[in-house]
Amino acid sequence: MTAQLIDGKAIAQQLRVQVAAAVTERLAAGKTKPTLATVLVGDRMDSATYVSSKQKACAELGMGSISRNLPGDISQEELEKVVQALDDDPAVHGILTQLPLPSHINEERVLQLISANKDVDGFSPLNIGRLAQKGRAPLFIPCTPAGCIYLLEQADVQIEGANAVVLGRSNIVGMPAALLLIGKNATVTVCHSRTKDLPDVVRGADILIAAIGKAEFVRGDWIKPGAAIIDVGINSKPDATRKSGYRLVGDVNFEEAKEAAGFITPVPGGVGPMTIAMLMRNTLRAAEMQDP
Ligand code: GUN
């Protein structure tokens, strides 16, 4: 069996067109331009690439962006001042502090400064708390897990009643992905580094969300025939045939898994583009809430 590919790039593009149309309509009505502030600390190449993609997307969709690129040795106090000033600025609708922050920074204290209605990452205690509670809607849902669910829904994968396995329990992906799946009536198992008999647990999954950051960790014989695989991993793997000397691979061994799965996302071109599209949607929503 060869799995059906879930084309994240195309699905994200459709969503971006919808968001851009809503932005155009908003501007035509004389309302403020939805504006995202990004905060980047230090010189991690991957973080810098992600942040510049987010700013580029703002420009392409007719939204504004403000960037604060700060040195890696910035003090906690200085960083908090920058984030607080953005939170106080009425021209800023959404704030994204790119994670991870350098190890000397207390991430929780920085993120706490972002008001819930500017928290386009959906990481604030209020937003996560509401996500965790039955019948309570958060103001914003974290972008990557929201993108995973959107891909499943676009592919018409039945979530209700499915056995879903989430690999990874990070605040950014695994934990909120598990909460979203529970909210959609899946039966959810969250796996991590101490999970016993991991391949056997994965073998029970109708839906697998892999977010552990280990290149091609999930093998083809772990996949239940017909399962839907959402691969969040973006890992670089040495490849002498490429000019760059490397290529990007997911957390799932794609070549093996596609023979068993019913649906699978590629890397790149799967979840990555969805994260940005969801961030754009959240930023539009933030502007609509603050400046109806
Ligand atoms: N680092 C990796 N993914 C994300 C994300 O979705 N938001 C933020 N702020 N940092 C990240």
Task: State whether the Cα torsion 186-263-128-215 is positive or negative.
Answer: positive
Residue 103 has pLDDT above 80, yes or no: yes
Closest listed residue to residue 263, CA positions, set 6, 53, 81, 71: 6
Tens-place pLDDT, residues 10-60: 999 999 999 999 999 999 999 999 999 999 999 999 999 999 999 999 999
pLDDT confidence of residue 1 = 62
Is there a single domain that holds both residue 111 and residue 149? no
Residue 214 pLDDT: 97
Residue of 129, 151, 150 lying closest to 140 (CA atoms): 129
- What's the Cα-to-Cα distance from 225 to each of 122, 137, 149, 215, 233, rounded to whole Å? 34, 34, 20, 22, 21
Whether 172 is in the pocket of ligand 1, judged by its Cβ within 6 Å, is yes
Domain co-membership, 39 together with 105: yes
Rounded CA gap, 272 and 251, in Å? 13
169 and 101 belong to one structural domain: no
74, part of any domain:
yes
Tell me, rounded to whole angstroms, the distance of Cα 266 from its chain centroid: 15
pLDDT classification of 98: cutoffs 50, 70, 90: very high
Ligand 1 centroid–CA 248 distance in Å is 18
Say if 219 falls within a structural domain: yes
Whether 121 sits among the annotated catalytic residues: the reply is yes
User: What CA–CA distances, in Å, run from 6 to 65, 105, 172?
Assistant: 30, 38, 22
Counting the structural domains of the chain, the total is: 2
pLDDT at 221 over 90: yes
- The CATH number linked to 91 is 3.40.50.10860
Q: Does residue 232 share a domain with residue 188? A: yes
Mean pLDDT for all residues in the chain: 97
Split at pLDDT 50, 70, 90, the class of 118 is: very high
Kindly report, residue by residue over 174-215, the tens digit of the pLDDT: 999 999 999 999 999 999 999 999 999 999 999 999 999 999
Q: Categorise residue 38: left if φ over 0, alpha if ψ from -120 to 50, beta otherwise.
A: beta
The band of 151, judged by pLDDT with boundaries at 50, 70 and 90, is very high
Assess if residue 285 is contained within a domain.
Answer: no
pLDDT of residue 74: 98
- Find the 66 Cα to ligand 1 centroid distance in Å: 17
Ligand 1 nearest-atom number relative to CA 100: 1
State residue 84's pLDDT score.
98
Predicted local confidence at residue 61, as pLDDT: 98
Per the domain annotation, does 10 fall within a domain? no
Residues 262 and 151 in one domain: yes
Q: Is residue 193 part of a domain?
A: yes
- Does 70 fall in a domain? yes
Assess whether the C-beta atom of 126 lies below 6 angstroms from ligand 1.
no
The domain spanning residue 185 has which CATH number?
3.40.50.720
> Is the CB of 119 inside a 6 Å radius of any atom of ligand 1?
no
Q: Does any ligand 1 atom lie closer than 6 A to the CB of residue 99?
A: yes
Domain coverage including residue 38: 31-115
Does the residue 52 lie in any domain?
yes
Please report whether residue 248 resides in a domain. yes
CA 99 to centroid of ligand 1, rounded, Å: 5
Question: Is 90 exceeded by the pLDDT of residue 101?
Answer: yes
Say whether both 149 and 234 belong to one domain.
Answer: yes
Dihedral of the alpha carbons of 260, 272, 23, 67, in degrees to the nearest 10: 170
Clarify whether residues 148 and 265 are in a common domain. Answer: yes
Same domain assignment for residues 157 and 258 = yes
Taking only the tens place, the pLDDT of each residue in 241-255 is 999 999 999 999 999
